[in-house]
Chain A
């Protein structure tokens, strides 16, 4: 069965630090990849997505993610975090043509001012 792993459960950083959140998935076929973010008290919303093409994708608020097919990874990065990036981040994967989205367990990010 398809699975998604987010190894960092809680990450604490100071403002201006660089961020990398890991995401690995188990399926070897064609996949669509997503990062969603849930700010405190807000809806879950899309941060960025990868379907095909350039494996380095850019999203909102300065986030980017790189798809490395050989490593089954889709890590999220931001060069300099802000206090407002405090949120929970979810990686999600679905098989090409499949409605079902499989989510990772999420990473809680806390930014210290």
Chain B
């Protein structure tokens, strides 16, 4: 069974803190994605990776960076958290380009 896990379900951080969100998939998928989900805005792509150490900017990369050192793991980094980064963060993976994406449970981040 397909599985994408995210390190935390809920996270509370202070403005200016460095925040790491971890995502792990056990399906040997090439592609991994980070989205943020906000009410009324749907899902917006932050970054994606199509191979180890490869990354591409999505639609809203500002204020974020990513790391993919191993195929199964894709990390989202908020270098200096701000209140406007309070959101639900979803990780996803897919085997091939343009195929079904499998989502993790999400991390609800609150930045105070």
Q: Which residues on A are within 8 Å of B, measured CB to CB?
A: 6, 9, 32, 34, 36, 42-46, 49, 90, 92, 94, 96-106
Contacts and interface: CB of A to CB of B under 8 A. Distances in A.
B3 to A, nearest CB: 10
A59 B35 CA distance: 24
14 contacts: A9-B40, A34-B100, A42-B105, A43-B4, A44-B90, A45-B103, A46-B101, A90-B43, A98-B98, A99-B31, A99-B50, A100-B58, A101-B33, A101-B101
Contacts of A34: 100
Interface in B1-54: 4, 31, 33, 35, 40-45, 48, 50
Main secondary structure of the interface of B (DSSP, over half): strand
Interface in B71-88: none
A106 B42 contact: yes
